[in-house]
Amino acid sequence: MEAIEVEEPIQEDFCIDPEITSYWENRIERGFVQQFGQHICEIGRPGTGKTQGLYYLVDKIKEYGKEQILWFDIGKGDEILTLCHYFGPVTIFTPPGCELDIKFRGKTDAFGNPYDIRFETLTRAGHIWNKIEKDRINICSFDPFILDPVVTLSEMSFLFEQLIRKAFRREIIRPLAIVYDEFHNVCPSQGYGYATSRQETATQRRSLNMIKRNVQKLRVEQYRMIVTTHEWQQLFKGVRMAFEWVMIRRGAKFGTDEPRLAQFNPRWAGIKKGQCYIALPTREHTAPLQLPYYLDGFRLGTVTYRGMLE
């Protein structure tokens, strides 16, 4: 810890040069956005702008216009409003007997169009893979309606098992970007997961091993994972090593499995809010990037969740 304090990043590191930013954004567009199936993990403490990073990547993918998007709503609610405002039309999938009450302060989105929101009901989250609609942001909203962590574990395990089984049979629309905030809840390292009993641990371990074994195959089949986590070590090791690209926010810290990124831990400790670095598959990293700002959902309206999945 003392070494980190001594080797704080020099202020010049955070001077944003438009030409340098443009150079790196072009590399990201060519190497990541236009290459279907490239996985990326965004790392940083709460409040460092990780959700803004997800919006930025969705924006780039939408701009390229050849890939469908599935966003997992984990209960923050306000994110749905931002997605509708900037990237609609939107289809939201919820469990039976559960619904969202969405209210916007205005009547039109960022482009002056009326909000276009559809709702569909699924008996299980894992059934979503055959329901993804083209040219819409697809939002799976199951997590907010589940209080019991054991039910969450069961649903998410089933969901990703279905993804892997169907993806390799090419039964799911592709190319597809799967966006999941706080992915450590799905693929946790030991000590971070929901599982408490032997049976729950076995269920989670089975799911982890299936994702670990197949996440790179998803890349080959043009399914990409865009995820966030608070800490690199929170993600199950066999899964985190599958992320070719890494978006780095303040507070990110790497260990011995990422030596080229670990040597810059002091730099990551001092990143300003709203800025990030992006590490390429070679583990070369960009200059500091200042990403666009997308209005937070609470400025656009309100979302209320009604109902519960037992």
Report how far apart, in Å, the C-alpha atoms of 180 and of each of 141, 258, 303 are: 11, 22, 19
Nearest C-alpha neighbor of 141 from the set 84, 190, 197, 203: 84
Q: What confidence tens digit (pLDDT) does each residue in 159-210 have?
A: 988 998 999 999 999 999 999 999 988 888 876 666 667 776 777 777 777 7
Going by C-beta distance under 8 Å and a sequence separation of 6 or more, which residues neighbour residue 49? 249, 273, 274, 275, 276, 291
In this structure, the number of other CB atoms found within 10 A of the CB of residue 107 comes to: 9
Q: What confidence tens digit (pLDDT) does each residue in 86-96 have?
A: 998 999 999 99
Mean pLDDT, range 230-259, rounded to an integer: 93
- In CATH terms, the fold of domain 35-306 is Rossmann fold (3.40.50)
Domain boundaries of the chain, sorted by first residue: 35-306
Query: With bands split at pLDDT 50, 70 and 90, how would you rate the model's confidence at 148?
Result: confident
